[in-house]
Copies of this chain bind each other. A is one copy, B any other.
Amino acid sequence: MASNPVDKQPQSEPFAADLLRGHTDTIVLGVLRDAQRYGFEIYKTIRDATGGLYEIKEATLYATYRRLVKDGLVEASWGDETQGGRRKYYRITDAGRAVYRKNVQDWTATQNIINKLLNVKGGTP
């Protein structure tokens, strides 16, 4: 009677972000490369950049911001929205740019490694 529990296949459920684990810092640094942005703006930028296909959760991002600030890769300061609606702005530092460049390289290497490993075809031919 088709009691098959494999039923929902929502075609494009928001991505398992765990696949990106370790890359969030780099993604945020990338978004900050050319302009300062406030936290929620970064969140929306990432969310919208993939048409909602992929989303990094707010909690994840705000934790990331804290980490990046602690490590000196970005600087933070409150905007002067005097009439309410506070926004905390983030700017990338020189150290942040250096780390960003390195991480992009590592990411390229990682892609190559995984692509290679996923093609491992068994013994020597």
Contacts and interface: CB of A to CB of B under 8 A. Distances in A.
A121 B123 CA distance: 44
A120 B19 contact: no
Contact of A114 (B18, B31, B107, B122): B107
Interface residues of A, number: 37
A93 interface: no
A49 B19 contact: no
Given A27-B118, A30-B120, 16 more contacts: A15-B109, A15-B110, A15-B113, A16-B106, A19-B22, A19-B110, A20-B114, A21-B22, A26-B118, A27-B114, A30-B119, A33-B122, A34-B121, A34-B122, A46-B120, A50-B117
